[in-house]
Structure 1
Amino acid sequence: MPVVSKKGQQMPESPIRKLVPFAEQAYKANKKVYHLNIGQPDIKSPQVAMDAVTLHSLEILAYTRSEGSEGYRKKIADYYKKNDIDISADDIIVTTGGSEALLFAMGSIADTGDEIIIPEPFYANYNGFATSSGINIVPVISKIENNFALPPISEFEKLITDKTKAILICNPGNPTGYLYSRDEIKKLAAIVKKHDLFLVADEVYREFTYDGAEHYSILQEEGMEEYGIIIDSVSKRYSMCGARIGCLVSKNKSVMATALKFAQARLSPPTFAQIASEAALQTPQSYFDEAITEYTERRNLLIEKLKEIPGVKVGEPKGAFYCIAELPVEDSDAFAQWLLQDFDLNGETVMVAPAAGFYSTPGVGKNQVRIAYVLKKDSLLKAVEILKKALEVYPG
C-alpha cells in the first residue's frame, strides 16, 4: 500500500482551522458560534477595489508577469515611499498572499537542514512553511509576563550556529499583538549584520498600531539593504483576505533573482486580484483612521473584560488585532473543543485558537489561546461573557 511522505506526515495542523469540524457540529446543533479564532476582519473591503473588478474592461483573463504587473509594483513602491521605505518596483515580487512570499523567502535563503530563529509564540503557519521547506525553526521564547517583548539579544546569540540563516519576526505580531520598538529593530539589525544573517520581517499589520505608537520597518533602518526581507499582504490592510495577494520585498539583488525563479515556477499571481489590489492603493487615510479607532475600542473592551475573569492573564497588544490569553485550564485544545461540543450559554458558544500551535517548543502555550478581536463590540462582550461562564463550569 502506498504511503504519504514523511514531510507530509510532519506538516502541522492549523491551530486556527483544525477545530472547524467541531464548529460545524455546533451549527448543526443550532448553536450560534462567536468566532474569536481567526483574523478575518469584519471591516468592509474598500469599495474602489471591488469596483475595479466589477468594472474591468478585460477581454482575455491573461497571465501577468511572474513578478506581478509592472503598474501594480510601481504603485506598491510609491506606497512604501510614503511610509519612509525607499523601494523601487524591481525590489518587489507580487505573490499569492503573504504565505507564498514566506515560502519564496525561505526557499531563497535556506537549504534543507538550515535554521531560522523565531521569537515565539509566532504565526502558526511559520511551522508549516518551514516543514515544507525542510528548514528547522529554532525558537527563542518571549513571555506573557513582559508582554511578549523581544527577548534579550544574548538569547539569540546563544542559538546562532553555522546552520543559522535568518531571524524571522512578525511586526506587529500575530498572535501577540506586540509592536517592536525602533530600538528593538536596531538591535536585531545589529545582530544580523554581525553574524551575516537575513532579517525577515512579516509586516502585514503595519497600518494597525495603537496608543500613538508608530511602526518602524526593518528597511527604514540604515544599512539593511543586503540583510532585510519584508513579507507583506493586502489581506488585513484592506480587509481583502480572499484576494490572496501579497509581496516579497528586498533590495538584495541575489535574493530577488532567486525568488523570481520560484515565482516563474508558479507562472504568475492572479490577475483579477492584482486589479483589485492596485485599486485598493487609492484607499484614503480616513479608511485606516476609522479602522484603527474601531480596533482600539475593541481591544480596550476585550482586555478589560478578560482581566475581570478570575485566573485569566492576558497580554496587551500594541498592534494588529490579536492577543494571547492564559486560561486556568490544563489543555486549551481540549477546552476549545469542549466549548464547541459540550457547552453553550442560551444557545451560544465561542471558538478560540489554542495557542500551543503558535509555539514550536513542546509543551509551551498549552494553557493559552489566541483571540482575534475582529468582532463588533457587542459581540465581543457576549463572547467574553460566554467564556467566563464556560470557565466557571469547565471540568478540566
Structure 2
Amino acid sequence: MPRISEKGKLMPASPIRKLVPYAEEAKKRGTHVIHLNIGQPDIKTPAVALDAVRNHAIEVLAYSMTEGSETYRKKISDYYAKNQIQVEAQDIIVTTGGSEALSFAMGTIMDSEDEIIIPEPFYANYNGFATASGVKVVPIVSSIENNFGLPPISDFEKLISPKTKAILICNPGNPTGYLYSKAEIQQLAGLAKKHNLFLIADEVYREFAYDGREHYSILQEPGLEEYAIMVDSVSKRYSMCGARIGCLVSKNKEVIQTALKFAQARLSPPTFAQIASEAALETPQSYFDAVITEYVERRNILVSELQKIEGVKVAVPQGAFYCVAELPISNSDDFAQWLLEKFEMDGATVMVAPAAGFYATPRLGKNQIRIAYVLEKEELVKAVRILGAALQAYNE
C-alpha cells in the first residue's frame, strides 16, 4: 500500500474544527449547540460589497492579475493611508485569504528547517503553515497572568539561533485578544534589526481595538521597511470570511518579487471576491463604530459572566473578538467533547475550542479554552451559564 508523507502525518488537526462531528451528532439528537468555538462573525456583511457582485456586468469570468487587480490594490493603499500606513500598490499582493499570505511569507523568507519565533498561544493554523513549509516553530510563552502581553525581549534573544529567520505576531491577537502597544512593537522592531530578522505581523483584526486604544502597525514603524511583512484579510473587518481575500504587504522589494513567484504558481486570486472586497472599502466609518460598540458590549458581558464562575480565570481582551479562559479542569479537550456528547441544559449545550491546540509547547493550555464572542449578547449569557453548570457537573 502506498504511504503518505511524513509531512502529512505531522500536519496538525484544527482544534477549532475537530469537534465538529460531535456537534453534528448533538444537533441530530435535537440539542441546540451554541458555537463559541469559531470566529465567524454574525455581523452582516456590508451591503455595498454584496451589491457589487449582484450588479456585475462580467460576461467572461477570466483570470485576474496574479498580484490582484491594480484598481483594488490602489484602493487598498488608500485605505492604509487613512490608517497612517504609507504603502503603494506595488507593495501589495492580493492573496486567497490571509492564510495564503502567511504561506507565501514563509515560503519567501524561509528554507526547510529554518526557525520562526511566535509568542504562544497563537492562531492554531500557524502550526499548519509552518509544517507545510518545513519550518520549525519556536514558541515563546505569554501568560494569562499578565493578559498575554509581550514576553520580555531577553526571553526572545535566548531563543534566537543561526536558523532563526523571523518573528511572527498576531496583533490584535487570536486567540488572546491582546493588543500590542506601540512601545512593544518598537521593542520587537529593535530586536529584528539587531539580529537581522524579518518581523511578520498578522493584522487582520486591526479595526477591533477597544477602550480608547489604537492599533499600531509594524509598517508605521520608521526604519523597519526591509524587515516588516504584514498579513491582512477582509474576513473579519467586513464580516466576509467566505470571500477568501487577503493580502501580503511589504516595502521590501525582494520579498514582494519573490512572493509574486509563489502567487504565479497558483495563478490568481478569485475575481468575484475581489469585486466584493474592493467595494467593501467604501464601507462608511459608521459601520465600524457600530460594530466596535457591539463587540465591546459583548466582551464586557462575557468577561463579567465568566468571572462569576468559581475557579475560572479570564484574560480581558483589548481587541479582536476572542478571549482565553482558564477552567478548573485538567483536560479541556476531554471537557469540550463531553459537553457535546454528554451534557445539555434546557435542551442546549456549548461548543468551545480547547486551547492546547493554540500552543506549540506540549502540555500547555490543557486547562484553557478559547471563546469567540461573535454571538448576540443574550446568547452569550445563556452560553456562559450553561458552561458554569457543565463545569460543576463535570467535576462532580
Give the TM-score of the pair, scaled to structure 2.
1.00
Query: 2:56 maps to what in 1?
Result: 56
The DSSP-based 3-state class of the residue aligned with 2:232 is: strand
Distance of 2:58 and 2:65 partners within structure 1:
16
Distance of 1:58 and 1:147 partners within structure 2:
49
Deviation at 1:248, TM superposition (A): 0.1
> What amino acid does structure 1 have at the position aligned with 2:291?
A
Deviation at 1:395, TM superposition (A): 4.1
Query: Residues 183-231 of structure 1: CA distance to partner in whole angstroms, max 9, x if unpaired?
Result: 0000000000000000000000000000000000001000111000000
TM alignment of 1:301-320, pairs within 5 A: 301-320=301-320
TM alignment of 1:1-396, pairs within 5 A: 1-395=1-395
> What amino acid does structure 1 have at the position aligned with 2:5?
S
The DSSP-based 3-state class of the residue aligned with 1:319 is: coil
Deviation at 1:50, TM superposition (A): 0.2
Answer yes or no: is the 8 Å Cα contact 2:298–2:377 preserved in 1.
yes
Distance of 2:14 and 2:146 partners within structure 1:
26
The DSSP-based 3-state class of the residue aligned with 2:53 is: helix
Distance of 1:314 and 1:268 partners within structure 2:
42
Distance of 2:118 and 2:365 partners within structure 1:
16
Query: Residues 237-295 of structure 1: CA distance to partner in whole angstroms, max 9, x if unpaired?
Result: 00000000000000000100000000000000000000000000000000000000000
Please provide the CA RMSD for this pair: 0.5
The DSSP-based 3-state class of the residue aligned with 2:140 is: strand
Runs of 4+ in 1 over 3 A off after TM superposition: none
Query: How many pairs align?
Result: 396
Distance of 2:124 and 2:71 partners within structure 1:
33
Distance of 1:70 and 1:23 partners within structure 2:
43
> What amino acid does structure 2 have at the position aligned with 1:308?
K
Give the TM-score of the pair, scaled to structure 1.
1.00
The DSSP-based 3-state class of the residue aligned with 1:132 is: helix
Query: Residues 140-184 of structure 1: CA distance to partner in whole angstroms, max 9, x if unpaired?
Result: 100000100000000000000100000000000000000000000
Query: Residues 122-146 of structure 1: CA distance to partner in whole angstroms, max 9, x if unpaired?
Result: 0000000000000000001000001
How high is the sequence identity, in percent, across the aligned residues? 73
Deviation at 1:24, TM superposition (A): 0.3
Query: Residues 359-388 of structure 1: CA distance to partner in whole angstroms, max 9, x if unpaired?
Result: 000000000000000000000000000000
Distance of 2:269 and 2:348 partners within structure 1:
40
Answer yes or no: is the 8 Å Cα contact 2:329–2:395 preserved in 1.
no
The DSSP-based 3-state class of the residue aligned with 1:302 is: helix
Distance of 1:224 and 1:86 partners within structure 2:
13
Distance of 1:65 and 1:206 partners within structure 2:
26
The DSSP-based 3-state class of the residue aligned with 1:394 is: helix
Distance of 2:326 and 2:20 partners within structure 1:
22
Query: Residues 49-91 of structure 1: CA distance to partner in whole angstroms, max 9, x if unpaired?
Result: 0000000000000000100000000000000011000100000
The DSSP-based 3-state class of the residue aligned with 2:64 is: coil
The DSSP-based 3-state class of the residue aligned with 2:111 is: coil
Structure 2 gap ranges (5+):
none
The DSSP-based 3-state class of the residue aligned with 1:26 is: helix
> What amino acid does structure 2 have at the position aligned with 1:392?
Q
